[in-house]
Amino acid sequence: MTDTNRTTSDATNAARDAADQVKDAAARATDDVQAAAAQAAENADRAAKRVHGAADSAMGTAKDAATEAVDDTKETVDDVLDDLKSAAEQARQAGAEVLDAAQAQAQQAYESGRGLVDEGVGYVKEKYRENPGLVIAVGAAAAVAVGLILRAITRR
């Protein structure tokens, strides 16, 4: 071989080696890009799963908080209703006691008044037997006094 052929052959071999190196570098770069893309996809998938898990957790926490608030409100309402029922029962009992006391006082007043009327009637009967004219005169005077009082009231 001649030097020219050799130089051409060396240049061709060098070009082929360079092309092979470029091809290998491109293949490595392609593999690296694919690996990086796969890693990025995996990272995105993991991030999406974390976000989904966080959203589920937040929804669960919100649901639990809402359920707890509803339960607390229900308990409070139940307590208030129980207190109102208790107060109503106490008021009913107090009213019944007041009514019983008023009835007892009215009964006592009636019996006392009835006794006084009976005593008064007995006294008048006794005085009528002793002096009937005096009782009739007092009765007539009382009737005239009541008539005058009524006449004075109706004139106003």
- Taking CA atoms, 14 is separated from 26, 28, 143, in Å, by 18, 20, 158
pLDDT, tens digit (0-9, with 9 covering 90-100), for 32-46: 888 888 888 888 888
The whole-number average pLDDT for the span 115-143 is 87
pTM, to two decimals: 0.40
Boundaries of every domain in the chain: 3-129
The whole-angstrom distance between residue 138's C-alpha and the CA centroid of its chain comes to 75
pLDDT, tens digit (0-9, with 9 covering 90-100), for 3-31: 566 677 777 787 888 888 888 888 888 88
